[in-house]
Amino acid sequence: MGPGLCQSAVVIAEAAKYLFGFVTSGRVGQNYVYFENSSSNPYLIRRIEELNKTANGNVEAKVVCFYRRRDISSTLIVLADKHAREMEEEMENPEMVDLPEKQKHQLRHRELFLSRQLESLPATHIR
């Protein structure tokens, strides 16, 4: 590894500490963050996989995307609900099955779906 590459890695690590306020594990892939793509939309939820310095000196984060229930198609929702019901039945866990409807509704609104989609976003959009 040449001195320029090593220096870039240090710059990226320092930028991460400054921008994110957390470098808890030393491994980037364990940090979950909110991204702001529009002031009128809710924050996006992402997991940082890599930090890269661009040619103009900015830091970009390569992230894995998580989606809320309202962000995915109704076809996928039906499939996810079907698998969730099957899992509940297999687990035979009375605590999960006997939840009041209000709590089940709240859980559905907080549910996240992991995707295999990767994006590169400017680190300055992390909130």
Of 122, 5, 127, 126, nearest in space to 62 by CA: 122
Q: Which CATH architecture has domain 12-89+98-125?
A: Roll (2.30)
Residue 20 reports pLDDT greater than 70: no
Tokens of 4: 């320029």
pLDDT band at 63 (very low <50, low <70, confident <90, very high): very high
The pLDDT of residue 1 is: 44
- CA 41 – CA 47 distance, rounded (Å): 19
Neighbours of 32 (CB within 10 A): 14
**If you average pLDDT over residues 3-22, what whole number do you get?**
48
Tokens of 109: 């609104």
Is pTM beyond 0.85 here?
no
The pLDDT of residue 10 is: 47
Secondary structure percentages of the chain, helix, strand, coil, to 5: 45, 30, 25
**If you average pLDDT over residues 43-64, what whole number do you get?**
89
- CA 120 – CA 32 distance, rounded (Å): 15
